[in-house]
Each structure stands twice: as C-alpha cells, then as structure tokens.
Copies of this chain bind each other. A is one copy, B any other.
C-alpha cells in the first residue's frame, strides 16, 4: 500500500494526498475527506523508509545502553523506560544499541548508517570513545553522565558529589564519627566511570569538612558483592557505624550482612545513599536516600536531544541534577554504648 494507490482510489494526484496528510497546503474539505476515507479503509501509513530518504531524517532516536552482558540496575532500567515513554509522546521511535566500546557494529550502523536522527548514550566514561565517534560523525547526541570535557557536549547527570556530601553531613549530624562509602566496582572506577569518581570526591570533601573519618570501599553491582563488602567493613572497621552509598544493586546484600551480624538498622547502624526511589523503598527499613529522578532524566534527555537535532550548532546544554534527600527510616543517631 502506497501513496499512489491512495491517490488513484481517491481520484486525485499523489501530491494532493501528501498535502492532505501533512496539511502543508490547503486541500478542499471535500477531497480531504474522500482521501481520509480511503486511507482509513486501507489503513495506509506512509512508508517510513521512503519518508526518511526524502526528508533526510528518520524520526528515530538511538539509545545506547550498556552491553547486554551486564545486568541493568533499576536506575538504568527506569531511565530506559522513561526515554521510551518520552520519545513515544512525541511520536519518535527508539532504536536500542547495546554497546560499550568503540568498534561495535550496531553502534557503527546507527551512527554512520544514518539510522537515527540523534543518540542518547548511557553510562558515559570520563574518556569515552563513543563520544569521540559521535562528534566526528557529526551526529547529535546527549549523554547521561559527562566526560572529562563537559563543556563540549550536551548531557544530563546526577550530582553525585553533592549528594554523597549531603549524606555524609546528615550522618555526621546524627553523631556518626566513622563513616564508610560503598562505591561502585574498582574496575568501573579504573575505567574512568564518572559517578564513582565524583562520589569519591564528595565523600572525601565532606568527611574532611566535618572532621570525621571516612573509608572508601569499592563493590561490584550485585547483592553477593554487597554482602561481602559489608562483612569486610564490619570486620576490618568495627568503629564504623554508618555507610553512604551510590551502589543500589549492592543494597540487598548490605542489608543481609547487617542482619546476620545482628546490627539493627537504624538503631545500631545507619545507611544513606543515592538510589532509585523504588529501590530505596524496597529496602528494609526504607532507605534514607537521594531519589535519582530517572524518569525526569529520561524525558529531559529526550528534550535536550530534540533541541540539539533542531539546532546542532547551538551551545551545548547540560543539566546537573541534585534531588533532595528523602528522609526515610535507615538513619538514626549513632548508638551510644550504655
């Protein structure tokens, strides 16, 4: 089914059908209705490829997610969902590319095959070959997280430094003098993963400012690692009474280790962090945390990208989000031995 067939059946020319559809020139009400009837009957819809070829745009966005191997965290998942939703709202389709590195075929297809009008890239590293590639290809893009050259590109990010600082302040205010940071994995940090580095910075700065002692632990993104990490903390640093964390996937394990050690939260041990709201509320007791606004970030990223596609040469825009900390039930004054 194509526009020619619709034209034939409605007894008009193809251009009239096209204009009736786009509204870019006036079409008499009578013919418009006749055309619409035929269209409805055959449920015709313009061929996307032909339109893309002619218009030079695909009405499709690319979303580059971490490679399929690693599991998505709830935060990432929520973000993907919100991008899909925001794109659907403005009638854009989304092509997913699970690629981390540089020479990924699916990534290459998307950028140099002009399959999409713009790209959103998740889980950006401080030095990220994908960003370089997109810049070179002249493909509009927005990143989630930013590189070491933040002023050059469009991005949306969470201000992990500030948020972790706030967690530390909050814990210090409650009388905790020895605080641990449970960061993301050492590999991720070594690879230049921004949130990990910025959490570290915020932690170090806050700890110093409040004159409490702070120890950082790296931890892989899953429950068993969280359990092991928490055990190690309790074992090696019995003086520690509170943790701050950006590693939401480790939380169930952290929780388990504390339970096993017989440490009541928050009576004997406090936890504060940065997490998806859903995750924070599943924690028992519910987690005092900065609720990462993943939903908002997704639609923000889509908005920025659409803007950038429209004006590829405008100055890059960024948004650094620092959501407030939601006080829930996982923090309390430091336990004072009777």
Contacts and interface: CB of A to CB of B under 8 A. Distances in A.
A112 B256 CA distance: 50
Contacts of A97: 88, 93
A244 interface: no
Q: How large is the interface on A (under 10, 10 to 19, 20 to 34, 35 or more residues)?
A: 35 or more
Given A93-B110, A113-B48, A77 B84 contact: no
Contact of A252 (B71, B96, B282): B282
Nearest to A71: B278
Interface of A: 43-50, 52-53, 58, 60, 68, 71-72, 77, 81-82, 84-85, 88, 91, 93-98, 105-106, 108-110, 112-115, 223, 252, 256, 278, 282, 284
A105 B81 CA distance: 17
A95 to B, nearest CB: 5
Contacts of A278: 71
A231 to B, nearest CB: 14
7 contacts: A44-B112, A45-B113, A46-B113, A68-B81, A68-B84, A71-B77, A88-B98
A42 B106 CA distance: 18
Given A45-B109, A252-B282, A93 B93 contact: no
Contacts of A50: 49, 53
Contacts of A110: 93
A45 B95 CA distance: 18
